[in-house]
Chains A and B, each alone.
Chain A
């Protein structure tokens, strides 16, 4: 019941809170719908997104809810697979960047001195590097796989998270309850695990969300530019192709769905993060 992190038990506080907090409710519903689309969507469509078996540019119909694109592929199938790829890319980058950022930030704050100095200077250097350019170059020259690109992006994105974590960790580290835990004989590992890490919780959410959002957008941009394998479906690529046919009356069934999906995706992440922070911070609960 009482978890050591102080995160309230699920049935006790989160469930009733969801109904009260419209932000959380909206975010949760959006995220749920999108998650369903990502997880089971591809199994629901009867078509392979790469199957060029249909009448190109046919308008929406009962068989093809969003119509067929110029290559004769089902747009809805494309959309579902593309969404999956984009979300996967974002999550991977977000998680890896967060992990790196937390590790680097905590190490810098905990050990201080040269460790702090070296980590932070390295972070500064990375911050000065234009991520888009690096990714474009790497994708173009080395034909890196999406996973490799996501990891590369994470390597470029961790510094801001690390800086935030470090700053907050320094503040928390000097708090009396950590001094008290140290007095009680708590080891470094104990204090980091039970006092520092839980205290930084909001930063993880924010860090993860911003990085995931940026990564999703980056994925869309790169695929818009055509830097991925064309057979890999992606929201960006769909937008890019749809734009070629803007003179036809296809924008609402071909261009709009991927744009809408991308927007909702980013909105869902943002809404969830904002409201989850409230849930997980007992002090903000009352406010």
Chain B
């Protein structure tokens, strides 16, 4: 039963004039019986943290701050005291498995060694204990006498675990314990780690495997360039990340749960270099800056006063660059973000819309977070486009309110629609109609610039147009700029429309069935490009589609619409795998090729009934007499359904 308390730990690797700032004021607690996962890109300082706790940093490392094992200060202890603690109270499994074993010794001897060293046990007893321990790790008895190179990666990893656990330490540090393992071996290692937790060990799990972190850990600490960006309960890692970096990281990870993965994070983070310009300034002032690959010292020399993630962040504002950011509490998370985590970009509150006698949209509320892609699915006439256009600010709702970037949108529209329009791009369903056939490509794409009168210089307009055309993978030749829409194919026109929507670098993009008029191969290209652009520019997107399969591929969240209401909202993977509304299930089944039995349009709009009651094979008395109830939250997360009898499982 021990606890580790790290407070304001900074680590600098001194290396001539240019030093590496590996950890910056890191504070962290490891509690008995809990697994804390440390995640982040390579170079974020994960391993340094582990090694610091073990007191295994190289000579050139300079430390500041404190690490306490219970109440005992580890930093500054001399080597002999450290040796006493090391392995017997704190043990570590290093990354790159086989490299940590002595190739000329049998593994059983290596596992036995700590027993001899620390407990002064007799060699033969120690070997016997080691043999047991290896078997406990699920290794065949005959493997114990082999040499490291005769073992597979999984077996080496288990050997290392056995070695770390042989003295039954109170604190366990695992550095990428599953990095090179297949799924089976990984799950075995995970089980072993879980066993250790139940034995009240304090465990630090350093990993880039977010699935493992989510599945195994109690809480997750996200590290970026030596700073903790967010700490949170592990279950929220994919479902409810709070820091933009965590969202981007989780979106990059190829998990089976999420449907949209491999998103990547724009830009590169690399190292934080500390140095002083002795020639230029006297006395030399030491400062740190981020060195990204591909930048020379001079070009990459941007001193970051503010948030470290700011250059790559999708929601950064001026304030982010001003000063170092402390951690803020956000629910049960702690987040290092001046904006208190990912902001709500758009908020619709009970908006509704009627066209003469038809009700297009019943009171509907929706919140979009910055940087997410929200897919709106549903059959034709379900109010998708109406909702999307209200969200885009082109259509005014009859009732309800909406806010954009924290400002009342309706007031914004009245007071200066143009500045709102600057922030929102729209891509329409029918590209050919969305452009004037009298305008050339240049004029079409430059139109927002002209309307917003941001740029007047023709050469600059051309440059901007060329840049955005390159973004959407179109030609930037002058010849192409002179073309007219009727000379282009549909896919190209749609890209021109996208370029037009993106040229002002809006914060919010509304795409209304942008690919429904395109053939599948063009659709695939355009969607890929759109996702790339979304990651690069950090757009928030509202994507309207009737194709739930498509929504699954691109959406972070899905909202299902039926007869002017949202009937289900949730993370894309959850909605697809565990749809709770019968209508959503039906949509998925139809997308999978099942035939629709009941006639379309058999809904009972306007009446008190659930709009799906007439078509639902689970409908009961209550469905016909009462409208669907208040939104029902499923599994505590963001999965919400409006149904009397939601389906489980």
- Chain A residues with a Cβ under 8 A of chain B: 1-2, 4-6, 175-177, 179-187, 190, 194-195, 198-199, 282-283, 286
The chain A residue with its CB closest to the CB of B426 is: A183
CB-defined interface of B410-429 with A at 8 Å, one 1/0 digit per residue?
A: 00000001111110101010
Q: Are B421 and A184 in contact (CB under 8 A)?
A: yes
Q: Are A5 and B438 in contact (CB under 8 A)?
A: yes
Of the candidates B426, B435, B443, B451, the one having the most CB atoms from chain A within 10 angstroms of its own CB is: B451
Q: Are B448 and A184 in contact (CB under 8 A)?
A: yes
Q: Are B482 and A185 in contact (CB under 8 A)?
A: no
State the CA gap A283–B392 with chains docked (Å).
31
Which residues of chain A are near B394, meaning CB under 8 Å? 179, 182-183
Q: Are A176 and B421 in contact (CB under 8 A)?
A: no
Q: Are A180 and B426 in contact (CB under 8 A)?
A: yes
CB-defined interface of B425-441 with A at 8 Å, one 1/0 digit per residue?
A: 01010100111111110
State the CA gap A32–B629 with chains docked (Å).
78
Q: Are A6 and B421 in contact (CB under 8 A)?
A: no
A185 contact from B430, B442, B451, B481, Cβ within 8 A: B451
CB distance from B440 to the nearest CB of A (A): 5
Which residues of chain B are near A199, meaning CB under 8 Å? 436, 438
Of the candidates A5, A184, A194, A286, the one having the most CB atoms from chain B within 10 angstroms of its own CB is: A184
The chain A residue with its CB closest to the CB of B439 is: A6
Q: Are A6 and B392 in contact (CB under 8 A)?
A: no
Q: Are A175 and B433 in contact (CB under 8 A)?
A: yes
Q: Do A177 and B481 contact each other (CB < 8 Å), given the known contacts A184-B448, A186-B451?
A: no
The list of the 3 closest CB pairs from A to B, nearest first, reads: A185-B421, A6-B438, A185-B418
Q: Are A2 and B438 in contact (CB under 8 A)?
A: no
Query: What are 8 residue pairs bridging A and B, where the CB atoms are less than 8 Å apart in the complex?
Result: A1-B482, A4-B443, A177-B434, A184-B451, A184-B452, A186-B447, A187-B418, A190-B451
CB distance from B434 to the nearest CB of A (A): 5
The chain A residue with its CB closest to the CB of B440 is: A2
Q: Are B447 and A181 in contact (CB under 8 A)?
A: yes
Of the candidates A2, A183, A195, A199, the one having the most CB atoms from chain B within 10 angstroms of its own CB is: A183
Q: Are A177 and B443 in contact (CB under 8 A)?
A: no
State the CA gap A181–B435 with chains docked (Å).
9
The chain A residue with its CB closest to the CB of B444 is: A177
Q: Are B440 and A183 in contact (CB under 8 A)?
A: no
Q: Are B435 and A2 in contact (CB under 8 A)?
A: no
A177 contact from B422, B433, B484, Cβ within 8 A: B433
**Chain B interface: which size bin?**
20 to 34
State the CA gap A195–B435 with chains docked (Å).
10
Which residues of chain B are near A186, meaning CB under 8 Å? 447, 451
State the CA gap A176–B512 with chains docked (Å).
13
A184-B451, A282-B437 given; name 5 further pairs at CB < 8 Å. Answer: A1-B482, A177-B433, A179-B394, A181-B447, A184-B448
State the CA gap A25–B219 with chains docked (Å).
82
Main secondary structure of the interface of A (DSSP, over half): helix
Q: Are A181 and B443 in contact (CB under 8 A)?
A: no
Which residues of chain B are near A2, meaning CB under 8 Å? 440, 442-443, 481-482
Which residues of chain A are near B443, meaning CB under 8 Å? 2, 4, 6
Which residues of chain A are near B450, meaning CB under 8 Å? 4
Which residues of chain B are near A5, meaning CB under 8 Å? 438
The chain B residue with its CB closest to the CB of A195 is: B436
Q: Are A283 and B435 in contact (CB under 8 A)?
A: no
Q: Are A177 and B392 in contact (CB under 8 A)?
A: no
Q: Do A282 and B451 contact each other (CB < 8 Å), given the known contacts A183-B394, A183-B421?
A: no
Which residues of chain A are near B420, meaning CB under 8 Å? 185
Which residues of chain A are near B421, meaning CB under 8 Å? 183-185
CB-defined interface of B461-483 with A at 8 Å, one 1/0 digit per residue?
A: 00000000000000000000110
State the CA gap A137–B434 with chains docked (Å).
52
State the CA gap A6–B452 with chains docked (Å).
20
State the CA gap A230–B422 with chains docked (Å).
65
B525 at interface (Cβ–Cβ under 8 A)? Answer: no
CB distance from B148 to the nearest CB of A (A): 65
The chain A residue with its CB closest to the CB of B452 is: A185
Which residues of chain A are near B451, meaning CB under 8 Å? 181, 184-186, 190
Which residues of chain B are near A194, meaning CB under 8 Å? 447
CB distance from A9 to the nearest CB of B (A): 9
State the CA gap A7–B394 with chains docked (Å).
30
The chain B residue with its CB closest to the CB of A1 is: B482
CB distance from B66 to the nearest CB of A (A): 56
Which residues of chain B are near A282, meaning CB under 8 Å? 437-438, 484, 486
Which residues of chain B are near A283, meaning CB under 8 Å? 437, 486
CB distance from A181 to the nearest CB of B (A): 7
CB distance from A198 to the nearest CB of B (A): 5
The chain B residue with its CB closest to the CB of A175 is: B433
State the CA gap A283–B439 with chains docked (Å).
11
Of the candidates A180, A181, A186, A187, the one having the most CB atoms from chain B within 10 angstroms of its own CB is: A180
State the CA gap A282–B441 with chains docked (Å).
13
CB distance from B626 to the nearest CB of A (A): 39
State the CA gap A282–B447 with chains docked (Å).
19
State the CA gap A175–B437 with chains docked (Å).
11
Which residues of chain B are near A286, meaning CB under 8 Å? 486
Q: Are B428 and A180 in contact (CB under 8 A)?
A: yes
State the CA gap A181–B422 with chains docked (Å).
12
Which residues of chain A are near B436, meaning CB under 8 Å? 6, 177, 195, 198-199
Q: Are A180 and B434 in contact (CB under 8 A)?
A: yes
CB distance from B392 to the nearest CB of A (A): 7
CB distance from B460 to the nearest CB of A (A): 15
CB distance from A252 to the nearest CB of B (A): 49
CB distance from A279 to the nearest CB of B (A): 13
CB distance from B424 to the nearest CB of A (A): 8
Q: Are A185 and B417 in contact (CB under 8 A)?
A: yes
State the CA gap A180–B432 with chains docked (Å).
12
State the CA gap A11–B251 with chains docked (Å).
53
State the CA gap A198–B443 with chains docked (Å).
14
The chain B residue with its CB closest to the CB of A9 is: B482
CB distance from B490 to the nearest CB of A (A): 14
State the CA gap A265–B272 with chains docked (Å).
82
CB distance from A70 to the nearest CB of B (A): 55
